[in-house]
Amino acid sequence: MPDSRIELGSEAHEKVREAGEILAQVREETADRVEVGASHLDVAEYAEDRIRELGGEPAFPVNISIDEEAAHATPSADDEATFGEEMINLDIGVHCDGWLADTAITVDLSGHDDLAAAPEEALEAAIELVEPGVETGELGRIIEETIEGYGFNPVVNLSGHGLGHWDQHTEPSIPNRGVSQSTTLEVGDVVAIEPFATDGSGKVTEGNDEEIFALDREGSVRDRGARAALEQITEEFRTLPFAARWLDTDRPKMALRRLKTHGLVHGYPVLKEGDGTLVSQKEHTVIVTEEGCEVTTRG
């Protein structure tokens, strides 16, 4: 059975549902806190703390992507940034005992209503198609057609993905454009469908900033701070992404540099569209059922 497939009615199914219910509530509460002048760090920490209050754990650091940023942006521990009249994407994840839910929403303070609406309509169109036997490339086709119908481009080198146990990105990939080589959805598949729309070229590239990391393998290091960080990572976060600001060590950035040098962790550079362009996003987690699908993060 693929990593992203669960048995309907099982304990895993209930855990995925629970994660989705928590996430739907936290997404809406967090989006309400995004306004001009609000702190990026306060918003991220509110969401992460609220997830824990409701009985889950963050599946990855809250992503707060601004304007041309598409993914992997999260505040640092000393971040003083505040929201302006910008396009803001919130990408939030929850796990319950390693079973995952993933969702995203655009909060547009920039006045680009159509760009914010495009991925939302594309997502709903894709969800309507989900059922056993549907090709993931068909989902990509309707996403692409819907976004282009608004006069924008899908971000083609980002995609939706399967959600496994302690695994945030697994097969199948859900493309944001029509492709001929794709995967057939089956009952029990848990997937995050994640359209991105842009007024740019439709491709993102890696920036220089890294605040999100994940474990590659377990190992040993001599440095005390790096050793303490590695112990926290393996016990608390396992294979899921984590923020540098989550580490309890006094010098987390130094510890992470040492762990990267030893090949024990890797970073996620912030992904950006071209200069002067905007990116919007919408995402839900769905479980493929006999009759269609169950959207766990709808709320």
- Active-site residues: which are they? 91, 102, 161, 169, 194, 283
- CA-based nearest residue to 280, from 31, 66, 29, 63: 66
Q: Is 273 assigned a ligand-binding role in the annotation?
A: no
- CA atoms within 13 Å, Cβ hemisphere of 166: 9
- 118 to 25, 148, 179, 197: CA distances (angstroms): 23, 8, 20, 7
Q: Is 167 assigned a ligand-binding role in the annotation?
A: no
Q: Who's near 173: CB < 8 A, 6+ residues apart?
A: 136, 159, 160, 161, 162, 183
Torsion of CA 146, 151, 153, 159, to 10 degrees: -20
Q: Which residues of 162-171 are buried (b: 16+ CB within 10 A; e: fewer)?
A: bbbbebbbbb
> CB count, 10 Å around CB of 125?
18
Q: Is 266 assigned a ligand-binding role in the annotation?
A: no
Residue appearing with tokens 């992460």:
48
> 263: which strand partners?
none
Rounded to an integer, what is the distance from CA 115 to the centroid of its chain?
19
- 40 to 29, 30, 68, 239: CA distances (angstroms): 15, 11, 16, 25
> CB count, 10 Å around CB of 4?
24
How far apart are alpha carbons 186 and 5 in whole angstroms? 8
Q: Is 161 assigned a ligand-binding role in the annotation?
A: yes
- CA-based nearest residue to 170, from 95, 269, 240, 270: 240
- Residue at 151: amino acid letter: G
Structural tokens at position 270: 């912030």
How far apart are alpha carbons 35 and 201 in whole angstroms? 28
Binding residues for a divalent metal cation: 91, 102, 161, 194, 283
Binding residues: 72, 91, 102, 161, 169, 194, 283
Binding residues for substrate: 72, 169
